[in-house]
Amino acid sequence: MNSTGFSTAVDTTDIEKSKQVDPTMEKHAHDADEAMKAIDEMHGETIELDEATNRRLLRIIDWHMMPIMCFIYGMNYLDKTTLSYASVMGIKDDLNLEGDQYQWLGSLFYFGYLAWEYPTNRLLQRLPLGKYSAACILIWGAILCCFAAVSNYPGAIAIRFMLGVFEAAVTPGFALLTSQWYTKYEQGIRVNIWFSFNGVGQMLGGVVAYGIAVGTAKHGSSIEPWKIVFLFTGLLTVCLGVVFLWIVPDNQLNARWLKKEDRVLAIARVRVNQQGIGNKHFKLYQVKEALLDPMTWAFFFYAIIADIPNGGISNFFSQLIKGFGYSEEQSLILGVPGGAVEVVALLLNGYIGHITNQRVLTSLGGLVASIVGMLLIVALPLGNNVGRLIGYYLTQASPTPFVALLSLISSNVAGYTKKTTVAALYLIGYCAGNIIGPQTFRPEDAPRYVPAEVTIIVCWGVCLFLLVGVWLWYRRENQKKLLYTARPEYVRLENQEWLDLTDRENPEFLYSL
């Protein structure tokens, strides 16, 4: 596929022919992708997919999939950071939090996330993808509502841990959905779009928390304001979970909003990915390949290092803004523009990466802006509240490389077991970084938190070098593959895109940059 579309025909008799003549094909056929089984049922019919049909299908898929994925991902961010709003709305006093107990509440979400990340990736592969994801969304929304009933620190620990367990499915699940429904060329910008709703979630949370704080102060309330925030976000998540369950299918074959003939066409349009649409067989050799792939560990260590800053800022941004000299209520509403910066940064990054086909290099801009922002917070005088606040806003561009690498897992890792393994390790690194992050904001350093701010600058600096290394590695691997497939003796394996081959097994699989 190119940037303008494609025209292709899939002759399903190729499958039967290649089974008869190619032992490699026969070896993989028994556990091939779901897509191959669907096309096999066409009994030799030729599937025609021209550019106009592809554009029509893409519009249908976007209209049904993207809005609900965006809203759910916004709630994914808002739900886990509601604690930050509650921190300046009285939760510390009501739960009698002392010392570093608030820091541990920030980290405990990620202990739950960490504990369940690999199991949930296996379940995402084994169980119906849409239904399992919807179940996790509904349960985490219900758990968040339960936070309003918490009256002590142990209860808060339990809620935060279980919230992490059930939110662990959303990011890897959405990465799988994106790779399942979209071509490689389309994936990068769409990952940026749904991830950008983290910023929308931050904006919504700031406005809601500010409105509740001001409203209850003026009119009073029968329950504490922070409890209302948890009830609002939890109930909204449950409602969106029901919508997700109704709209999002497990794959193209059971999408109720696609006509029967369009379901097969929706599979054919992602043939170019060389990845298929899903495979429920666990393949140990793909796990081993993932563990021996240098890029797996580059992703893993990037996630750890980059999310130390994320874990600290996402749990302390309200207190950080308050430390700039603003009131508690002002800190709630002043967090809103930070969400807008994240949205703009991710959408701009996605668009530029889409038109240049350079996702990794494009994402460096957001990281550089974030480093500049943190330098402003550290270096500007204490009296320069506006300048330091602008510095905070610039730090909200930091997710651009994280999202770029997440989209590379979607498009650059083939083999369903390998993909789920790499995604799990990436998000395990994400959890580890977010566990460490809040611990860098020590109570004795308040309100400046200078050691934490210096730590953040160092982490982002290391991340710059890691990203350049990833780009160089993939570029070199593509050159090797092009040389290999250009040899006269090279013979292409028929229908290899449906065989659940890994990116290393498939010599025609080229990596996105």
What is the domain partition of the chain in residue ranges?
A: 8-276+283-498
Neighbours of 245 (CB within 10 A): 16
SS3 49: strand
Instruction: Please report the pLDDT score of residue 16 as a whole number.
Output: 44
DSSP 108-148: HHHHHHHHHHHHHHHHHHHS-HHHHHHHHHHHHHHHHHHGG
Q: Which residue has the higher pLDDT, 314 or 459?
A: 459
Which two structure tokens, joined as six digits, stand for 388?
């330091």
- The pLDDT of residue 25 is above 80: no
Instruction: Please report the pLDDT score of residue 102 as a whole number.
Output: 83
In the 3-class helix/strand/coil scheme, how is 478-497 assigned residue by residue?
A: HHHHHHHHCCCCCCCCCCHH
> What span, in angstroms and rounded, lies between the C-alpha atoms of 417 and 422?
9
> What span, in angstroms and rounded, lies between the C-alpha atoms of 314 and 318?
9
Query: Averaged over 56-67, what is the pLDDT?
Result: 96
Instruction: Please report the pLDDT score of residue 19 as a whole number.
Output: 42
- The pLDDT of residue 29 is above 60: no
- The pLDDT of residue 44 is above 60: no
Instruction: Please report the pLDDT score of residue 372 as a whole number.
Output: 96
- The pLDDT of residue 12 is above 50: no
**pLDDT over 90, % of the chain:** 51
Band (pLDDT 50/70/90 cuts) for residue 282 is confident
Query: Averaged over 164-187, what is the pLDDT?
Result: 93
**pTM, rounded to two decimals:** 0.84
Residue 43 — left, alpha, or beta (φ > 0 → left; ψ -120 to 50 → alpha)?
left
- Which stretch, 64-73, 382-391, 487-496, has highest mean pLDDT? 64-73
Query: Averaged over 449-453, what is the pLDDT?
Result: 86
Instruction: Please report the pLDDT score of residue 17 as a whole number.
Output: 42
Per the CB < 8 A criterion, the answer to whether 178 and 187 are in contact is yes
- The pLDDT of residue 30 is above 80: no
User: Can the peptide bond before residue 447 be classed as cis, meaning omega within 30 degrees of 0?
Assistant: yes
Mean pLDDT of the chain: 86
Band (pLDDT 50/70/90 cuts) for residue 270 is confident
Name the maximum alpha-carbon separation found in the chain.
80
Q: Which residue has the higher pLDDT, 16 or 163?
A: 163
Summarize pLDDT for 291-335 with one digit per residue, the tens: 999 999 999 999 999 999 988 887 677 777 888 888 877 887 888
Instruction: Please report the pLDDT score of residue 46 as a whole number.
Output: 56
Instruction: Please report the pLDDT score of residue 297 as a whole number.
Output: 97
Summarize pLDDT for 118-153 with one digit per residue, the tens: 999 999 989 999 999 999 999 999 999 999 999 899
Query: Averaged over 338-352, what is the pLDDT?
Result: 93
Neighbours of 492 (CB within 10 A): 9
- The pLDDT of residue 45 is above 80: no
Distance spanning both ends of the chain, measured CA to CA = 16
Band (pLDDT 50/70/90 cuts) for residue 14 is very low
- The pLDDT of residue 8 is above 60: no
Per the CB < 8 A criterion, the answer to whether 339 and 202 are in contact is yes
Nearest to 82 by CA among 104, 115, 109: 109
Query: Averaged over 251-276, what is the pLDDT?
Result: 86
Band (pLDDT 50/70/90 cuts) for residue 5 is very low
DSSP 418-442: HHHHHHHHHHHHHHHHHHHHHHTS-
Angle between helix 225-247 and helix 184-219 axes, rounded to 10 deg: 150
Instruction: Please report the pLDDT score of residue 181 as a whole number.
Output: 94
- The pLDDT of residue 451 is above 60: yes
Query: Averaged over 46-66, what is the pLDDT?
Result: 88
Nearest to 490 by CA among 510, 506, 470: 506
- The pLDDT of residue 41 is above 80: no
Angle formed at CA 459 by CA 458 and CA 461, multiple of 5 degrees: 65
> What span, in angstroms and rounded, lies between the C-alpha atoms of 377 and 53?
51
Name the phi and psi angles at 224, rounded to 5: -65, 145
281: exposed, middle or buried (Cβ count in 10 Å: 0-12, 13-18, 19+): middle
Band (pLDDT 50/70/90 cuts) for residue 3 is very low
Instruction: Please report the pLDDT score of residue 15 as a whole number.
Output: 40
- Residues 15-53: b if buried by 16+ CB within 10 A, e if exposed: beebeeebeebeebbeebbbbbebbbeeeeeebebeeeb
In this structure, of 236-250, 266-280, 347-361, the range with the lowest mean pLDDT score is: 266-280
Whole-number Cα distances in Å, 129 to 110, 167, 243, 500: 23, 15, 15, 17
> What span, in angstroms and rounded, lies between the C-alpha atoms of 460 and 246?
40
- The pLDDT of residue 103 is above 60: yes
Per CATH, the number for 8-276+283-498 is 1.20.1250.20
- The pLDDT of residue 445 is above 60: yes
Instruction: Please report the pLDDT score of residue 37 as a whole number.
Output: 63
Instruction: Please report the pLDDT score of residue 36 as a whole number.
Output: 63
Query: Averaged over 380-405, what is the pLDDT?
Result: 91
Instruction: Please report the pLDDT score of residue 40 as a whole number.
Output: 60
- The pLDDT of residue 404 is above 80: yes
Residue linked to tokens 């690194």: 429
